[in-house]
Amino acid sequence: MQIGLIGCGNMARALARGWGRPLLCADPVAERARSLAEEVGGEALDGNAAVAERSDVVVLCHKPAQLASVAAEIAPHARALTSILAATPLSALREAYPGKPVHRFIPSLPVEVRQGAVVQAAGGGGQDVELDRAIGELFAQLGTLVVLDDALVDVAMGLMSCGPAYVALVAEAQIDAGVRKGIPAAQGAELVVQTLAGTAELLRRRGNDTMAIRREVASPGGLTARGLDALERGGVRAAFSDALDAVLEESRP
């Protein structure tokens, strides 16, 4: 199956690296398309329509505001469309590409190392069951694939697509706290990042039971319990809730 990318920004690059296969690429910045094509052994083409003509499935990685203008270029040529556009529901994709099979996925940056979370909007696709299955399997290669109602995809985006930046900020805050107490930044980063990676693996092995991990680490009245209490007083839960609200507010049409 030949995949074509319309737009070669950060998330498109992460997808391409995760798939590790030759892709057709187009981007308004020609050098960006050439760079990505060279990296994955693919080909940068001169324009969006050329990508659509030669692809079995086109992955829309451009800016959401460009939906109509890109569709005007490629709709006559595209066989199937897959969108990773934020705040762009299946209804908008179907309106832009009438009569074409459309799918909606939201990936997260760790798809680059096949450790990402990917959300798929239920109800996408067309009459070709085998093609729909192949597209689903393509994205499932990149990590954990979760299918949700289309109305919940933007909520999920606020958790997992934005999540790597939040986790990086949490890591940075912990490293800075260690530096303030004398731990060199490089060593602090090794400690914090490995702890995050190891904790994620423990959570997976224990069925994502966050409370089980907390109980094992935080004995009543102990040091970790004191640290958790300080985080609660500092409003860590409210901060993440506010972050999700902010993302959803911005994503509303």
Burial class, 42, CB count within 10 angstroms (exposed 0-12 / middle 13-18 / buried 19+): buried
pLDDT band at 29 (very low <50, low <70, confident <90, very high): very high
Taking alpha carbons only, the member of 8, 194, 14, 10 closest to residue 113 is 14
The CA distance from 21 to 2, in Å, is 9
pLDDT surpasses 90 at 250: no
Average pLDDT over residues 177-198: 98
The CA distance from 31 to 64, in Å, is 21
**Which two tokens mark 99?**
């009569």
pLDDT band at 31 (very low <50, low <70, confident <90, very high): very high
Name every residue whose Cβ is closer than 8 Å to that of residue 187 and which is 6 or more positions away in sequence.
none
- Which residues are 210's β-sheet partners? none
DSSP conformation class of 192: H
pLDDT band at 181 (very low <50, low <70, confident <90, very high): very high
Burial 147-161 (b: 16+ CB within 10 A, else e): eeebeebbebbbbbb
The CA distance from 117 to 142, in Å, is 8
Write down all domains in the chain, each with its CATH number in brackets: 3-149 (3.40.50.720), 163-251 (1.10.3730.10)
The CA distance from 60 to 122, in Å, is 18
Average pLDDT over residues 241-252: 90
Average pLDDT over residues 221-244: 96
pLDDT of residue 130: 96
Q: Let me know: does 131 contact 80? Beta carbons within 8 Å.
A: yes
The CA distance from 47 to 211, in Å, is 51
Cα distance from N-terminal residue to C-terminal residue, the chain: 34
Taking alpha carbons only, the member of 4, 162, 160 closest to residue 82 is 4
The CA distance from 83 to 57, in Å, is 10
Kindly report the pTM of this predicted structure.
0.94
Q: Give the CB-side neighbour count of residue 250, counting CA atoms within 13 A.
A: 11
pLDDT surpasses 90 at 46: yes
Average pLDDT over residues 74-100: 97
pLDDT of residue 253: 63
What would the pLDDT profile of 150-175 be if each residue is shown by its tens digit? 999 999 999 999 999 999 999 999 99
pLDDT band at 219 (very low <50, low <70, confident <90, very high): very high
Average pLDDT, the chain: 96
DSSP conformation class of 180: H
The CA distance from 13 to 20, in Å, is 10
Average pLDDT over residues 51-71: 98
% of residues, the chain, pLDDT over 90: 98
% of residues, the chain, pLDDT over 70: 100
pLDDT surpasses 90 at 251: no
Name every residue whose Cβ is closer than 8 Å to that of residue 227 and which is 6 or more positions away in sequence.
none
